[in-house]
């Protein structure tokens, strides 16, 4: 029987590996997710059959967790996906912390290896949990999105890590007699998670979410070292690795190093360095914008977080269809870090049934930008800021952007002249070929849609 259980764990590990591989390719992604879910089921069943477990509370936990998880997954709006993922990630983190705690509670006087694994599961799980909760707060607007910075922040963080490490040594030396210190470490990990995420600004959220995802994987791995179980170690480290890869992709898309994101406090400190922007802002009414769009042969939409906030994705798709019916070629240029989580815009546009073929990446669209009649920027800012290309003193300098300023005409849909999340001025708004369409993005586009429909009806 024990052999069979262990073989099941190996099978589950292989299924996780294949599942994750399939998940990273468009054609196989959905089956990959299913395969990995089956792997999880197999691992759970194998554990339940391994013997010596009393089921009473296990069943309660499984039922409560399933109901909450399934309900949350079903009712969440696509626009609220970033905060939902953050919450799920947080629950994975706290679960690892609790597993570590329960194992310590059950057998405090284990060997060094076991104690270290327990401490790691508790510490990393704790950071992933409270970090995810803060990320959730920022993403859902419950906590202010701008970086919260205070003097000596890095010193305090470093001191906390040092204190935690010292306390951990005490626990390792005398695991049985240090229960209070153990609890203190758990509390410190929660505090550190909060302190690590509060200085990070809204636009850097995609990076932080990927990183926290990676942490919760590593925490699960640490839990695997406690109970000496390979499937936890393999699955946890796969998640750790994939989280790191996503983090890296996001960092590259912003031309920033991970250290810079984690310790930079981007946006709060940079407002003084901006060079004066020349030119004047030219506003345009929706009616005038309609005439330009009506005559256009090619239009590119560049969505950003503002589209998510305005929930404008369905209206945008409607406008795009009207444009196409008018003989215009329509594409959507998606910047990898547009929005608040990796792939945020893709999810929103998919929800609005935008055809997959119309979504293009910056590298594909930048070379043909000068041939585009109208680029419509919907609630995006930093990802279309030409300062990233031209102004060496700009904090955005070097970040790959979508070169909408090279299009023949640029419409920028925006509520006001406020700077983006980075707090950096955008010279795009002052360019000769730029027209600002002020107001709520959804409202503005609805007006355009109405103009088109009127014209058709007439």
For position 62 contacting other proteins by CB under 8 A, the verdict is: yes
Token digits for 235? 């699955």
Q: How far is the CB of 138 from other proteins (least distance, A)?
A: 17
Q: How far is the CB of 3 from other proteins (least distance, A)?
A: 18
For position 355 contacting other proteins by CB under 8 A, the verdict is: yes
Among candidate residues 282, 267, 244, 211, the one with its CA nearest the CA of residue 382: 267
* CA–CA separation, 368 and 297 (whole Å): 13
SS3 (DSSP) at 293: helix
For position 417 contacting other proteins by CB under 8 A, the verdict is: no
Task: Tell me whether strands 409-414 and 298-303 are parallel, antiparallel or unpaired.
Answer: unpaired
Residues 356-385 that bind other proteins (CB under 8 A): 356, 359, 361
Cα 348–Cα 354–Cα 360 angle in degrees, nearest 5 = 85
Token digits for 75? 């009712």
For position 96 contacting other proteins by CB under 8 A, the verdict is: yes
Is the Cβ of residue 348 or residue 374 nearer to other proteins in the bound state? Answer: 348
Is the Cβ of residue 111 or residue 280 nearer to other proteins in the bound state? Answer: 111
Q: Which residue has the tokens 């995802």?
A: 213
Q: Which residue has the tokens 């989580």?
A: 341
For residue 375, how far is the Cα from the chain centroid?
26
Is the Cβ of residue 25 or residue 151 nearer to other proteins in the bound state? Answer: 25
- Judge whether 420 and 382 are in contact, CB under 8 Å: yes
Q: How far is the CB of 248 from other proteins (least distance, A)?
A: 10
For position 350 contacting other proteins by CB under 8 A, the verdict is: yes
Is the Cβ of residue 297 or residue 353 nearer to other proteins in the bound state? Answer: 353
For residue 128, how far is the Cα from the chain centroid?
14
Is the Cβ of residue 303 or residue 423 nearer to other proteins in the bound state? Answer: 303
Q: How far is the CB of 403 from other proteins (least distance, A)?
A: 18
The window from 63-71, 139-147, 150-158, 292-300 that contacts other proteins (CB under 8 A) reads: 63-71
Considering only 1, 2, 3, 52, the residue that binds other proteins (CB under 8 A) is: 52
The window from 83-91, 168-176, 323-331, 368-376 that contacts other proteins (CB under 8 A) reads: 83-91
The window from 98-106, 258-266, 279-287, 290-298 that contacts other proteins (CB under 8 A) reads: 98-106
Considering only 138, 256, 331, 344, the residue that binds other proteins (CB under 8 A) is: 344
For position 55 contacting other proteins by CB under 8 A, the verdict is: yes
Please enumerate in sequence order all residues whose Cβ is within 8 A of that of 102, keeping only pairs 6 or more positions apart, or say none: none
Catalytic residue status for 364: no
- Judge whether 261 and 204 are in contact, CB under 8 Å: yes
Using CB under 8 A as the binding criterion, the count of chain residues that bind other proteins stands at: 109
Residues 320-339 that bind other proteins (CB under 8 A): 334, 336
Residues 24-43 that bind other proteins (CB under 8 A): 24-26, 29-30, 32-34, 36-37, 40, 43
**Active-site residue, selected from the candidate residues 204, 382, 391, 405:** 382
Is the Cβ of residue 234 or residue 410 nearer to other proteins in the bound state? Answer: 234
For position 279 contacting other proteins by CB under 8 A, the verdict is: no
* CA–CA separation, 378 and 437 (whole Å): 10
SS3 (DSSP) at 410: strand
SS3 (DSSP) at 391: coil
Sign of the CA dihedral running 140, 142, 144, 148: negative
Is the Cβ of residue 100 or residue 265 nearer to other proteins in the bound state? Answer: 100
Task: Tell me whether strands 409-414 and 374-378 are parallel, antiparallel or unpaired.
Answer: parallel
Among candidate residues 148, 388, 147, the one with its CA nearest the CA of residue 256: 388
Task: Tell me whether strands 298-303 and 374-378 are parallel, antiparallel or unpaired.
Answer: parallel
For position 354 contacting other proteins by CB under 8 A, the verdict is: yes
The window from 291-299, 346-354, 434-442, 448-456 that contacts other proteins (CB under 8 A) reads: 346-354
Considering only 269, 297, 353, 443, the residue that binds other proteins (CB under 8 A) is: 353
Residues 121-150 that bind other proteins (CB under 8 A): 125
* CA–CA separation, 46 and 38 (whole Å): 12
Residues 207-266 that bind other proteins (CB under 8 A): 209-210, 213, 216-217, 219-221, 223-246, 249
What b-and-e string marks burial along 26-50, b requiring 16 or more CB atoms within 10 Å of the CB? Answer: eeeeeebeebbeebbebbeebbeee
78 vs 37, 185, 351, 356, CA distance in Å?
Answer: 21, 37, 7, 17
Catalytic sites, residue numbers: 382
């Amino acid at each position: 029987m024990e052999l069979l259980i262990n073989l099941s764990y190996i099978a589950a590990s292989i299924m996780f590996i294949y599942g994750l591989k399939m998940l990273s390719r468009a054609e196989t992604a959905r089956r990959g997710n299913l395969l990995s879910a089956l792997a999880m089921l197999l691992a759970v069943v194998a554990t339940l059959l391994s013997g010596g477990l009393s089921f009473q509370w296990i069943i309660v936990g499984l039922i409560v967790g399933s109901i909450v998880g399934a309900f949350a997954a079903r009712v969440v709006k696509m626009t609220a996906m970033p905060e939902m993922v953050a919450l799920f990630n947080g629950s994975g983190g706290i679960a690892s912390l609790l597993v570590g705690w329960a194992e310590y509670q059950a057998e405090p006087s284990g060997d060094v290896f076991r104690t270290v694994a327990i401490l790691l599961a508790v510490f990393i799980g704790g950071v992933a949990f409270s970090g995810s909760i803060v990320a959730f707060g920022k993403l859902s607007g419950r906590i202010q999105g701008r970086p919260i910075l205070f003097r000596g922040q890095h010193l305090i963080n470093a001191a906390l890590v040092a204190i935690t490490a010292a306390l951990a040594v005490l626990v390792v030396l005398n695991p049985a007699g240090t229960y209070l210190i153990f609890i203190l470490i758990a509390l410190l990990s929660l505090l550190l998670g909060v302190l690590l995420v509060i200085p990070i600004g809204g636009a850097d959220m995609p990076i932080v979410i990927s990183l926290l995802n990676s942490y919760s994987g590593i925490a699960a791995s640490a839990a695997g070292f406690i109970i000496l179980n390979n499937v936890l170690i393999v699955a946890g480290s796969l998640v750790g690795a994939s989280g790191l890869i996503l983090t890296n992709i996001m960092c590259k898309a912003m031309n920033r190093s991970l250290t810079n994101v984690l310790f930079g406090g981007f946006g709060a400190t940079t407002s003084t360095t901006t060079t004066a922007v020349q030119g004047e802002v030219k506003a345009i009414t929706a009616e005038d914008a309609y005439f330009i769009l009506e005559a256009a042969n090619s239009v590119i939409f560049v969505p950003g977080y503002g589209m998510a906030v305005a929930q404008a994705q369905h209206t945008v798709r409607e406008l795009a269809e009207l444009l196409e019916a008018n003989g215009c070629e329509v594409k959507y240029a998606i910047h990898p870090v547009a929005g608040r989580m990796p792939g945020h815009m893709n999810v929103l546009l998919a929800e609005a049934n935008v055809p997959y073929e119309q979504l293009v990446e910056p590298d594909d669209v930048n070379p043909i930008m000068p041939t585009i009649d109208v680029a419509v920027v919907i609630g995006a800012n930093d990802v279309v800021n030409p300062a990233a290309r031209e102004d060496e003193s700009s904090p955005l300098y070097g970040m790959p952007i979508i070169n909408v300023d090279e299009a023949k005409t640029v419409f920028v849909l925006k509520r006001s002249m406020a700077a983006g999340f980075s707090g950096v001025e955008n010279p795009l708004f002052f360019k000769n070929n730029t027209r600002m369409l002020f107001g709520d993005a959804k409202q503005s586009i609805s007006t355009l849609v109405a103009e088109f429909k009127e014209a058709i009806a007439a």
